[in-house]
A = this chain, B = another copy of it.
C-alpha cells in the first residue's frame, strides 16, 4: 500500500471555521450556521460546498435514523476519514484507528520492548495499523494523519526523540520520515505524558482549562494544559517533575539526608529500592504494584511516602500553575489509594488556600486508551482546528 495517494485533508481556514460550528456533533441548518458565524449565507453555502465535496459534512435528515428531523440539516461526518494513533510505552504499545472526532474504531495492544529500537517497534505498530484497517474495512488511503507518543523527550517541531534515557537506538531517529515512507500523511510525535494529558482532558475534563496530568511509573513526568492548550515550553521539556530536587528536610529519613531528584524517591524503581531497604525485595514498578495489591503493609507505607514526596513538588507546581485538576496516572497510581493519599496530604496542607479551594486531585480515568485518544486529539487539533 506504500505510496498510494491519501485523501489528504486540505481545509482552508474559512472551511475549518464553519466545520468548527458542526464539530460538537449537533446538526445545524445553513441559516443557523450563517447566524453563528456572522457570515453571509452565500459565503456559508460556498464553504459548505467544499466541505461536502470532501465528505466532511453531509445532510443529516432523510435517513431512517433521522427521527423525523426536518430536511435541511447538515452534520459533521467524523467517519469520513480515519486517524492512526500509536501510544508506545517502555514495555507496552497500543495502536488504534480513530475517527475525526477521536472515537476509537479499532484497537490492538501488545507487550513490547522499546529498547528493541525504532525499526522493530515502529514496524510492529505499522503492521498493526494495516491489520486494523483490514478489520475495520477501511482502505489505508482513508488515513489522513498519524499521531505517536513515545516514552521519552521529543522535539515536537521535528518529531525527533532527544536523548531518551530508556530508549537505546532512538536518539534523533527520524520517526516521521520512517512512518511517512509507508503512510504519506501528516505525522506528529510527542512524549507520552503530553498525550495522556490531552486524552484525559478530551474524555473526562473537557470543560477545565487548567489541568495537570502526572504519570508515576518507571519515570515521573507531567503534561500541562494551561488556558485550554497543551504547554510544551521552549524546548519541549515542560512538565519535567522527575528531575526536581526534593530537599531532605522535607522528607522522612528513609532515603537518607541528601537532596535527591523526585524520580529517585517516588518512581517505581525508587519505591522498589526503598522497599528492598526495608527488607521486602522488589526491583521494578511491577513488583511494587503486585506487593501493594497483595496487601504488603510496607508497600502501602512506602508508596504513601512517595506520594508525599510527589506532593512536595506538586504543592509548588500548584502555586505556579493554579490548575483546577491534577490527574495522577501511571502504574504506581493503579496500586491502590496510597500514592494519591500522600499527594493530597501534602498539597492540601501546603499550597495557598486560593489555589487549593477549588482543586481536584484524582486518579486517571481514561484508562488504556488515554494515550491513543490523546494522539488523535493532537492530530485533530492540527488538522481541523481553524
Contacts and interface: CB of A to CB of B under 8 A. Distances in A.
Interface in A133-180: 153, 162-163
Interface stretch (A240-248, A289-297, A377-385): A240-248
23 contacts: A12-B38, A14-B38, A153-B354, A163-B354, A209-B234, A210-B233, A210-B234, A210-B238, A224-B320, A226-B231, A227-B231, A232-B322, A234-B323, A235-B355, A237-B352, A240-B322, A241-B320, A245-B350, A247-B250, A248-B249, A250-B259, A317-B320, A320-B321
B210 A319 contact: no
B237 A322 contact: yes
Given A250-B247, A320-B320, A229 B227 contact: yes
Given A13-B38, A245-B350, A248-B249, A321 B233 contact: yes
Interface in A209-266: 209-210, 222, 224, 226-227, 229, 231-241, 243-245, 247-250, 259
Interface of A: 12-14, 38-39, 43, 153, 162-163, 208-210, 222, 224, 226-227, 229, 231-241, 243-245, 247-250, 259, 313, 315-317, 319-324, 350-352, 354-355, 357-359
Contacts of A247: 247, 249-250
A74 B210 CA distance: 41
A17 to B, nearest CB: 9
Copies of this chain held together in the complex = 2
Nearest to A46: B40
Q: Quick one: which of A38, A224, A250, A316 has the most chain B CB within 10 A? A: A316
Contacts of A231: 226-227, 231, 321
Contacts of A226: 224, 226-227, 231, 233, 238
Given A226-B233, A235-B354, 7 more contacts: A233-B321, A236-B322, A240-B320, A240-B322, A249-B249, A316-B316, A316-B320
A39 B39 CA distance: 13
Which of A234, A238, A313 gathers most chain B CB within 10 Å?
A234
